[in-house]
Amino acid sequence: MTGSTTTQETAAAETVERMPTTIDEARALLMAAGEETPNASTFNIIPHNTTAYKLIPSSSGNTVVVLPGESVTVHDDSAGDAIIVIGPSAALRYITTARAENATHTSARRTVYAMRDAQIDWIDAMTGSSSHTSADFDAQNTVLLAGNGAQAKFRSVFLGAGDETYRSVVRMLHLVSRTRSHMLTRAALLGKSSGQYRGLIRILPDAQKCDAYQRADTLLIGERPRMDALPVLEIHNDDVRCSHGVAIGRVDQEPLFYLRSRGIPADSAISMLVRGFFDPVLISMGEDGRMIGEAFSSRLTSAELSSVAFAELSTTHTPALDFTTPHDGRS
C-alpha cells in the first residue's frame, strides 16, 4: 500500500487544473494518483448551468466531467462503473442507488476525483428489491481529494433481508493538504442477510492540516444476520485530525418494550425503530432520502419482517452450541 505513495505525491504536485476532454485524459488523472481505473467508457461533459443530470445505464460505465465552478446533482442508478472528475470550485451532489429488481447481482466501482476547492456530497444507497431477497450487492466507492481545499461528505445506507449479501467499500484518500472528509454508513441487517464494510481513510505524508472522520453503525435484527466491519486509518503525518467509530448492536429493547406496552404489534414496533435508526441520515439527504426511505419502508412491511420480528421476541437466549471443553482432571 505504501508503495504507491510516491506516485500519489507526484500526482498531487503535478495536478493541473486543465479539465480532461477524453476518457484517456480522465483515466490518466487517476493513474497518476496510483489508482486503478474503473471500466467507464461512455464520456459525458455536463453542460454549463445544468442543475440535474441523470446517467444513462451503460454496461460499459460512465465517465463524467463537472466543469469548474458548476453546481450539479447527478443521479446514477446505472448499476455500472463510473469515473467522475470535479473541476476546481465545482460542487457535485452524487446520488448512487443500486436496486436488484430483476438481477441477482450488482457490482459497481466508482471513483471521484476532486480538484482544488471542489465539493462532493455523495449519497449511496443499496435498496434491494421489492420482489425477492436473494441478491448480492457490491459497491466500491473511492474519493481522491487531489486539490487543496477539496471536501467530501459520504453517506451510505443499506437494508438487508433474506439471504442478501452486501459489500460496501469506501476509500477516502487525502492526497494533498487542507482536505476534509466525513463518512457515515448506516446499515440494518435482517433475517440471514450479511454485510461487509471496509472503510479507509488514508492521509499521505505531505497532506497536512487534514480533517477526517468515519463512522459506521449497524443494526442486527432477527434470525442470523452477520456483519464484518473493518474501518481502517492510515495516517502518515501528525498535523491532522482523524477519528473513527463503529457500533454494532441489536434493536434497543427498552423502546421496543415501550411500544409493545402501548399495544403496537411487534413487527410494526421493530419497523418503526428501524426507520428511526435511518431517519436522521435520510432526512439530511432531502428528497433523495425520502425516496430511499420509501424503498426501505416497503421492505419493512413485507411478510418476511413479521416472521423475523416474532422470532426475535419469542426466543429466549439459549446457546446453540457448547464450546467448553472438559475441565482439568486435577480438581
Partner 1 sequence: MALPIYQDVSIDRSRYDAANKHDPQYEAPPGVNEQVVRIISAAKGEPDWMLQKRLAGLKLYDGTAFPTWGPDLSLIIADIASIRFFVQPKAKESTKWEDLPDDIRKTYERIGIPEAEKRSLSGVGAQYDSEIVYHNLKREWDEKGVIFTNMDEALRNHPEMVKRYFMTQCVPINDHKFVMLHAAVWSGGTFIYVPPGVKVTVPLQAYFRMNAERGGQFEHTLIIADKGSEVHYIEGCSAPQYNSSALHAGCVEVFVHEGARVRYSSVENWSRNTFNLNTKRAMVDKDGIMEWVNGNLGSGTTMLYPCSVLRGERAHSDSLGIAFAGCDQHQDTGSKVIHAAPRTTSVIRAKSISKDGGISSYRGLVKIMPQATGSKSSVNCDALLIDHLSTSDTYPDMQIDCADVDVAHEATVGRIGAEEIFYLRSRGLSEEQARQLIVAGFIEPIVKQLPLEYSVELNKLIELEMEGSVG
Pick the closer one to partner 1 by CB: 73 or 165: 165
The sign of the CA dihedral 205, 143, 36, 107 is positive
162 φ/ψ sector (left φ>0, alpha ψ -120 to 50, else beta): left
> What are residue 206's phi and psi, to 5 degrees?
-95, 0
Q: How far apart are the first and last CA of the chain?
A: 52
Interface region with partner 1, contact rule CB under 8 A, candidates 22-30, 122-130, 244-252, 273-281: 244-252
Do 30 and 51 form a contact (C-beta atoms < 8 A)?
A: no
Interface region with partner 1, contact rule CB under 8 A, candidates 106-114, 164-172, 225-233, 267-275: 225-233
What is the CB neighbour count within 10 angstroms for residue 16?
Answer: 7
The sign of the CA dihedral 235, 30, 79, 282 is positive
Which 246-265 positions form the footprint of partner 1 (CB under 8 A)?
246-250
Binding mask 296-315 for partner 1 (x = CB under 8 A): ----------------x---
Interface region with partner 1, contact rule CB under 8 A, candidates 33-41, 148-156, 228-236, 293-301: 228-236
Residue 230 contacts partner 1 per CB under 8 A:
yes
Do 230 and 197 form a contact (C-beta atoms < 8 A)?
A: yes
Residue 226 contacts partner 1 per CB under 8 A:
yes
Query: Residue 231 CB, nearest distance to partner 1 (Å)?
Result: 7
Residue 3 contacts partner 1 per CB under 8 A:
no
241 φ/ψ sector (left φ>0, alpha ψ -120 to 50, else beta): beta
Query: Residue 221 CB, nearest distance to partner 1 (Å)?
Result: 6
Can you give the binding site for partner 1, defined by CB under 8 A? 205, 208, 218, 220-250, 312, 317, 319-321, 323-325, 327-328, 330-331
